Amino acid sequence: MPPEPRKLARVAIVGASSLRGKELKQTLEDRNFPAADIVLLDASVMAGTLTEAGGEPTFIRALDADSFDGVRFAFFSGVAIDAEQNWQAARGAGASVIDLTGALAETARASARIPSLGLSAGSSPAVEKAGATPIYAPPAPVIIACTVATALARFDARRVVLVLFPPVSEHDQAGIEELESQTTNLLSFRPIENPVFGAQVAFNLLSEQQGGSKPALGDARNAVARDVALLLGGRAPVPAIHLVQAPVFYGYAFAAYAEFESAPQEEQLETAFANLGVKVAAPGDSAPTNVSVAGESEIHLARVQRDPNVAAGVWLWGAADNLRLATTNAVSIAEELLGKSAE
């Protein structure tokens, strides 16, 4: 039986034309979120763009004073400045604010949540239930790192090192277009431009950025490390984290190394990940890739491998759809808040 109309929530997506915004709308629909209406909002340059929501044609609207009237959940999924300038208007209209941009993590002291792991940092559940403070829905690398740390915590790992390979879509459409342009120009022996990455990213790996747009790779790594430490909050050892920019469009790949006093069985480690909702490859399955995880809501993990030289060391390889993983977490936060309001 469909929910009664009074139980349906009006939802606003700010940054609806961004890659995250588009994925968020799709995630809401795929999870059958009880939305009476999905209001698509963006900067004035995108206002009037025809799109669809819930199978019905609709338009992206410009942000104005009445954008959040009657809205129960306001998701900020585009650029940071839109979140910074408009979250208080959304809150003033009575909406619960869920920020995917990261802008409110410091400026508004937003609490942070990963419901699938039971991790939270910041305000109390009572304050979150009342919607009095914005909630930060962290991006894919933070969710991946927290998942790895949480799964390994029960085995008392001496050290955990995590190398993440971000795709260019973390820089939204501008990153996609720059990789496309660089690839085409290099194959045509033409000069390349690099306003986003400050270097050649096509057919290349970058461990740092000397120029390009913000956030730079080092700043992104520091932000991920900060958020992971905050969310784990002593519940699990914080892994060492490094980011290496990969020349791929979508999907976060990662490699993790864990070393123990006495290494547990591979099956025990795989079970610990599976218990957190990670999809672990079955015997004989291929290892996950950026391509194979496209459209998937979960982190995918290859079979655990022992290090050939370190008896108590193991290697993990995994991948996740960066956009779908982040938006699924954001929608899970809203679902959790709906459940609390019904109590």
**Residue 159 sits in the same domain as residue 128:** no
Segment (H or E) for 259? strand 252-260
**Residue 121 sits in the same domain as residue 171:** no
Q: What confidence score (pLDDT) does residue 263 get?
A: 83
Domain count, the chain: 2
**Residue 154 sits in the same domain as residue 288:** yes
Q: Give the number of residues written for the chain.
A: 343
Domain harbouring 246, CATH code: 3.30.360.10
**Residue 120 sits in the same domain as residue 167:** no
b/e 138-162 (16+ beta carbons within 10 angstroms → b): bbbbbbbbbbbbbbbeebebeebeb
**Residue 145 sits in the same domain as residue 234:** yes
Report the alpha-carbon distance of residue 222 to residue 14 in Å, rounded. 26
Low pLDDT (below 50) residues in the chain: 1-6, 50, 53-54, 127
**Residue 159 sits in the same domain as residue 27:** no
**Residue 93 sits in the same domain as residue 127:** yes
**Residue 258 sits in the same domain as residue 279:** yes
Sheet with 111-114: strands ordered across: 61-62, 35-42, 9-14, 73-76, 96-99, 135-136, 111-114, 119-121
**Residue 155 sits in the same domain as residue 278:** yes
Residue 181's domain spans which residues? Answer: 141-322
**Residue 171 sits in the same domain as residue 305:** yes
Q: What confidence score (pLDDT) does residue 8 get?
A: 81
Neighbours of 321 (CB within 10 A): 26
- What would the pLDDT profile of 265-304 be if each residue is shown by its tens digit? 999 999 999 999 999 999 999 999 999 999 999 999 999 9
Alpha-carbon separation of residue 278 from 154, 318, 320 (angstroms): 16, 10, 10
Domain harbouring 67, CATH code: 3.40.50.720
**Residue 178 sits in the same domain as residue 58:** no
**Residue 89 sits in the same domain as residue 237:** no
